[in-house]
Amino acid sequence: MIHDTALVADLLLPFFAKIRLRDELGADEQRAIAEAADQQLHFAAGTDLVDEGSRPVRSMLVARGLACRYRALPSGERQLTAIHLPGDFVDLHSFLLKEMDHSVGALTDCTIITFPHERLVKLTERFPHLTRLLWLLTLLDGAIHREWLVGMGRLTAPQRTAHLVCEIYARLHALGLAAENRFHFPITQAALADAVGISTVHINRVLQDLRHRGLIVWDGGMVDILNWNALAGAAQFDQRYLHIVQEPR
């Protein structure tokens, strides 16, 4: 249990920022969320936060670090379906879907805040507007899923990779978590390949291709965008699907 509410509020800052990019968040709503928080947990890179097939009784929000949702196939292959940044709920959907149809893993060391489902039910009974905002967050996940789907179906591997770089940068930048055209993103090429849906051998060549074309440099944990316009153009990136517009929801 978390007893220091000031600490919780601090860890929830990226989350509040994410919501405020889309709508206003009342002080009472903000307090209600902080009070619904339960535990603070830590997960090491490479470990699983939630397992496919399990039935979580609380939802997890990333306060620090990078997480992903993925499905492991019988062949041993893996496909990421989402990458989560600080401020993202990784399994808010388990609140209503009940059973996990995929796993959640830590891409880096993570600090997590949990929210018991029974408290989320109470929020839906007392705070209709806040409920719509939480609903909205899961809809944003769905919008990103669709964008990835379009990429997987109709874009080449270099385009999808460039698109992912644009997306992560746009999301981090909107939260104030990225420098200008530069962000820390310490994931392995294997994880990146699992996100883009290609082999590790090929992601390596794709990254070289993007570098040779003067678009990005991906060096260890740091990504540098050398030419945003060219990168976004090549990726056909349009951030509309991120719905970063403050308006009543």
Partner DNA sequence: CGCGCTCTTGACGAACATCAAGCTCCGTGG
Partner DNA sequence: CCACGGAGCTTGATGTTCGTCAAGAGCGCG
Which positions touch DNA (CB under 7 A)? 156-158, 188-190, 197-202, 204-208, 220
Percent helix, strand, coil in the chain, to 5, is 45, 20, 35
202 binds a second copy (CB under 8 A): no
1 or 73: CB nearest DNA: 73
163 binds a second copy (CB under 8 A): no
Positive or negative: CA dihedral 25, 28, 30, 36: negative
41 binds a second copy (CB under 8 A): no
Q: Please, what is the minimum distance in Å from the beta carbon of residue 93 to a second copy?
A: 5
42-67 b/e (C-beta count within 10 Å ≥ 16 → b): ebebeeebbeeeeebebbbbbbbbbb
79 or 189: CB nearest a second copy: 79
Q: Give the residue from 36, 15, 13 showing the smallest Cα distance to 122.
A: 36
Distance (Å, rounded) from C-alpha 232 to C-alpha 182? 14
Amino acid at residue number 155? L
Scanning 36-44, 138-146, 184-192, 207-215 for contacts with a second copy by CB under 8 A, the matching segment is 138-146
121: left (phi over 0), alpha (psi -120 to 50) or beta: alpha
199 binds a second copy (CB under 8 A): no
Tokens 């959907």 — which residue? 93
Q: Do 188 and 173 meet the contact criterion of CB atoms below 8 Å apart?
A: no
* Contact partner at residue 188 from DNA, a second copy, none, CB < 5 to 8 Å by partner kind: DNA
Per-residue binding string, a second copy, 12-31, x by CB under 8 A, is: --------------------
145-173 b/e (C-beta count within 10 Å ≥ 16 → b): eebbeebeeebebbbbbbbbbbbbbbbbb
Q: Please, what is the minimum distance in Å from the beta carbon of residue 178 to a second copy?
A: 22
* Contact partner at residue 202 from DNA, a second copy, none, CB < 5 to 8 Å by partner kind: DNA
190 binds a second copy (CB under 8 A): no
By CB under 8 A, name the binding residues for a second copy.
53, 69, 71, 73-75, 77-79, 81-82, 93, 96-99, 101-102, 121, 124-125, 128, 131-132, 135-136, 138-143, 145-150, 152-154, 194, 196-197, 236, 240-241, 243, 245, 247, 249
